[in-house]
Every structure is written in structure tokens, then in C-alpha cells.
Amino acid sequence: MRFTDKGIITAEVTLVEQFAKFLFPEHLRITMKKLACRDVGLDCDFVIEGMSVKEVQDKAHQHAFEIHAIKPEEMTSEMKVKIIENILDK
């Protein structure tokens, strides 16, 4: 049991949460992905989000070019690996 901000006790798993788990089993759920530009080593607070690692990776490459003037041909394999390693579940 838990207290809400209004002091009402609710069950740990609400009916809505149970229904959501029924409708969207774990293996069918899509987990959003995110990447903080700062985590890649740049002095930048931009956070990239997407539905997949590939989408975040593509957006990161675009951001690197548009904001940090890092051309695609200048992006080293180490930079690309660092991007992939730092993509997290949101």
C-alpha cells in the first residue's frame, strides 16, 4: 500500500497498471531510448530521444554535424562507439 499526495491509500499495483500490463506484455513494450550529448564528452546539455538505438544514433550524428560542426567523415569509429555505449533506456 502507498499514500498519494492527498493521503489516500492505494494498492501497490493499480488497476490501470494491471490493465496496461495485460494489453502490453513486457516482450511487446517499446522502451524509449535517450542519449545525453554531455555523456559522449561534449560540453552540451542537449538530450536526444528516440524509439530505437538506431534512431537515437542517427539523431546524434545529425546533432554533432549541425551543432558541433563535426562532419560525418570526421566522426571517428571511437566517437561512434561512444555514442552507442551511452544510449540508455529512458
Q: What is the pLDDT along the chain (90 residues), one digit of tens a residue?
A: 445 555 554 555 567 777 777 777 766 667 899 999 999 999 999 999 998 999 999 999 999 999 999 998 999 999 999 999 999 998
The pTM assigned to this predicted structure is 0.67
d(CA 52, CA 89): 9
Count how many domains the chain has: 1
- Residue range(s) defining the domain that contains residue 84: 2-89
- Contact (Cβ atoms closer than 8 angstroms) between residue 82 and residue 40: yes
Q: Rounded to 5 degrees, what angle do the CA atoms 54, 56, 60 make?
A: 115
pLDDT given at position 22: 76
